[in-house]
């Protein structure tokens, strides 16, 4: 049992907002049980106004009324329990922008029971009509309650339909059926076992269209909020009512609440712990909405106050253990490649087969990645399942803090890979990181790119550079996953250290080298050495082992689709201020770059590939 759920939500990024009506409208009596509803770009909320003030003696009940802990304090000239409804539009900060008392005079008849008016009206829009739906008990002398649908136009009730229950015409009080927002005229009449009913408002009947087996032992769950679609599921808030007697044998009640989550076939997947909103005993929730990545929950407190609770969906997802955005789990090798710097003239090695001009034409931002920002990003990654590869669009050790970044990510449990030319690498950097196991699946390891005799890669070959390569040679057996490559025959300056090296097949970097060749004469001369594929404009996705999750981080925090995207055509978002799982693409997403990449595949062929 959570005694103060509101406090918990606030501590996790939420906020609480009182919903106030002027006392000239309420005459000082209670407002309660608001119902929030997002109507297009408007935030609507019904606030129930009652013509009494509830006195409820809570806690140790030291100051009870002589008739019990609960008493209704009415105006002397009106001792009925009367409800009016005020339809409000809220501002974006959830203050009240407009309010209007609903005019029900067209359909009102002389009430014959002491509870008067439509109680706990939930606001919904079904088939383009705005409705209030709640219980009315003033039409029969015994107080029989039935759910009603009231159509509202311009703050007037223009039509009223009373709904008979599906199975038991003698049922005394039908209330708190929960309207299903995305299914017009459907309600969950009972939560567990789940009974879904469909209403025919034209003849006032209803029929049960789903009756599911019960889930667990919690079967006395009563309706509260709307039922809303949420991340391929449906969710709501229900209430439980503990009717108990105090030590003077006087009747009392305590309301608590729970979230319930169904799959789309109405199988209950989760029922939360019970909670009290603000540690009160009389609380009631009538509304739930999703708005701007947050849940809005509207509830009343002790029949005397109305509140809106704003709750980040991220926190709700944590409570409900919803992990719908962990798309990276389609591959065992989700990877972020780190571009630690983009110098004003690009990577100093300036390999002919690297589209540096293409990159410089479009990148005009932070030149050097800040260590602190990198650390913050690593701390916020959803899990250490993400492999961190230091390569990206330039030589990683051009940034003096790269070894520290490697060490930090490693210590946080991430798998690490490094692709370096050795330019900018210092012996102390190697000593810092040589203990790391760099060998983790495809495109992994600690790969040293050596200069070639044709100077396709133009390493600045200095005495210090050669010493670093010599040093690596002395300890290469200590580096797990160590390997070497070159773009041609190894350059004579380091041939005494590594006489030969693997020469990879060159591709056009998803077409980027075609444009690069036009502005780089040295590449134009050797363009027959790289291959290119064009899928003829077909919609393609990625067939790499890492799938769409080998993205490249830029020094300014932007995350680009992959190591082919030198033209930065597909920026997914920015990891300095967005969450990884919020910006990565869904599996099978197609990108234009993939249509000219050797790793592209049509989505329909992917599972068979
Ligand atoms: S291939 Fe690597 S080393 Fe060569 S220019 Fe591109 S980023 Fe720099
Ligand atoms: S361009 Fe598309 S297919 Fe090629 S590697 Fe990138 S994501 Fe994969």
Predicted confidence at residue 139, as pLDDT, reads 96
What's the whole-model pTM score?
Answer: 0.57
Q: Tell me how far apart the alpha carbons of residues 251 and 70 are, in angstroms, rounded to a whole number.
A: 8
Query: Is the CB–ligand 1 distance for residue 389 below 6 Å?
Result: no
CATH architecture for residues 327-606: Alpha-Beta Barrel (3.20)
Ligand 1 midpoint to CA 415 (Å): 22
Q: Which strand ranges, in their side-by-side order, compose the sheet holding 205-211?
A: 178-179, 186-190, 195-200, 205-211
327-606 matches 5-320 in CATH topology: no
Ligand 2 midpoint to CA 393 (Å): 15
State pLDDT tens for residues 290-342.
998 899 999 999 999 999 999 999 899 989 987 667 889 889 999 999 999 99
Residue nearest to atom 6 of ligand 2 (CA): 562
The CA distances from residue 148 to 27, 97, 138, 227, in Å, are 27, 27, 12, 17
Ligand 2 midpoint to CA 145 (Å): 61
The answer to whether the peptide bond before residue 193 is cis (omega within 30 degrees of 0) is: yes
Predicted confidence at residue 323, as pLDDT, reads 64
Query: Is the CB–ligand 1 distance for residue 349 below 6 Å?
Result: yes
Burial level of 480, CB count in 10 A (0-12/13-18/19+)?
middle
Query: Is the CB–ligand 1 distance for residue 350 below 6 Å?
Result: yes
Residue 94 contacts residue 42 (beta carbons within 8 Å) = no
Ligand 2 midpoint to CA 365 (Å): 24
Q: What is the mean pLDDT of the chain?
A: 94
Query: Is the CB–ligand 1 distance for residue 347 below 6 Å?
Result: yes
Query: Is the CB–ligand 2 distance for residue 599 below 6 Å?
Result: yes
Q: Where are the domains of the chain?
A: 5-320, 327-606
Mean pLDDT of 137-157: 97
pLDDT band at 609 (very low <50, low <70, confident <90, very high): very low
Helix ranges (DSSP H) in 434-527: 463-475, 492-495, 512-519, 521-525
Ligand 1 midpoint to CA 333 (Å): 23
Ligand 2 midpoint to CA 506 (Å): 15
Query: Is the CB–ligand 1 distance for residue 354 below 6 Å?
Result: yes
Query: Is the CB–ligand 1 distance for residue 423 below 6 Å?
Result: no
Query: Is the CB–ligand 1 distance for residue 391 below 6 Å?
Result: no
State pLDDT tens for residues 547-575.
999 999 999 999 999 999 999 999 999 99
Ligand positioned closest to the Cα atom of 590: 2
Residue nearest to atom 6 of ligand 1 (CA): 354
Look at domain 5-320 and name its CATH class: mainly beta
Query: Is the CB–ligand 1 distance for residue 457 below 6 Å?
Result: yes
């Amino acid at each position: 049992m959570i005694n103060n759920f509101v406090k918990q939500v606030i501590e996790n990024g939420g906020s609480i907002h009182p919903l106030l009506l002027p006392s000239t409208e309420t005459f000082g009596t209670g407002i309660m049980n608001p119902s929030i509803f997002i109507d297009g770009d408007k935030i609507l909320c019904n606030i129930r106004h009652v013509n009494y003030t509830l006195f409820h003696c809570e806690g140790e009940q030291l100051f009870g009324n002589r008739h019990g802990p609960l008493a209704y304090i009415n105006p002397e000239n009106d001792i009925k329990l009367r409800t009016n409804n005020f339809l409000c539009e809220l501002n974006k900060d959830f203050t009240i922008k407009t309010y209007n008392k609903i005019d029900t005079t067209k359909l009102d008849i002389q009430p014959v029971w002491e509870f008067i008016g439509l109680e706990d009206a939930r606001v919904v829009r079904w088939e383009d009509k705005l409705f209030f739906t709640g219980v009315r008990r003033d039409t029969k002398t015994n107080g029989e309650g039935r759910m009603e649908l009231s159509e509202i136009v311009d703050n007037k009730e223009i039509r009223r339909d009373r709904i008979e229950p599906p199975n038991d015409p003698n049922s005394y009080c039908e209330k708190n059926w929960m309207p299903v927002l995305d299914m017009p005229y459907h309600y969950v009449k009972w939560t567990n076992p789940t009974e879904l009913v469909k209403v025919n408002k034209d003849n006032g009947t209803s029929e049960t269209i789903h009756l599911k087996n019960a889930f667990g032992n919690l079967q006395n769950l009563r309706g509260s909020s709307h039922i809303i679609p949420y991340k391929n599921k449906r969710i709501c808030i229900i209430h439980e009512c503990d009717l108990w007697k105090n030590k003077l044998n006087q009747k009392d009640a305590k309301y608590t609440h729970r979230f319930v989550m169904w799959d789309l076939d109405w199988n209950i997947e989760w029922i939360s712990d019970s909670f009290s909103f603000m540690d009160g005993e009389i609380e009631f929730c009538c509304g739930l909405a999703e708005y701007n990545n947050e849940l809005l929950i509207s509830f009343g407190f002790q029949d005397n106050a109305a509140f809106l609770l704003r709750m980040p969906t991220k926190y709700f997802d944590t409570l409900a253990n919803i992990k719908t955005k962990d798309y990276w789990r389609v591959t065992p090798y989700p990877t972020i490649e780190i571009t630690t710097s983009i110098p004003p003239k690009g990577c100093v090695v300036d390999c002919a087969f690297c589209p540096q001009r293409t990159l410089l034409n479009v990148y005009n931002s932070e030149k050097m990645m800040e260590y602190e920002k990198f650390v913050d990003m690593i701390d916020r990654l959803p899990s250490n399942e993400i492999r961190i590869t230091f390569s990206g669009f330039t030589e990683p050790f051009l940034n003096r803090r790269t070894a520290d970044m490697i060490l930090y990510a490693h210590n946080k449990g991430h798998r690490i890979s490094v692709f370096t030319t050795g330019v900018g690498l210092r012996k102390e950097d190697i000593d810092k990181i040589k203990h790391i196991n760099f060998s983790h699946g495809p495109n992994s390891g600690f790969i040293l790119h050596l200069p070639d005799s044709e100077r396709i890669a133009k390493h600045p070959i200095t005495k210090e550079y050669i010493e670093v390569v010599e040093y690596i040679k002395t300890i290469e057996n200590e580096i797990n996953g160590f390997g070497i490559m070159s773009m041609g025959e190894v350059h004579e300056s380091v041939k005494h250290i590594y006489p030969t090296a693997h020469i990879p097949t060159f591709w056009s970097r998803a077409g980027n080298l075609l444009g690069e060749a036009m502005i780089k004469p040295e590449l134009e001369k050797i363009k027959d050495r790289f291959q290119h594929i064009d899928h003829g404009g077909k919609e393609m996705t990625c067939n790499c082992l890492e799938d769409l999750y080998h993205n490249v981080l830029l020094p300014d925090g932007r995350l680009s689709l992959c190591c082919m995207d030198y033209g930065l055509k597909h920026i997914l978002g920015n990891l300095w201020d967005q969450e990884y799982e919020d910006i990565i693409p869904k599996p099978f997403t197609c990108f234009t770059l993939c249509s000219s990449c050797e790793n592209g595949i049509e989505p329909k062929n992917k599972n068979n590939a």
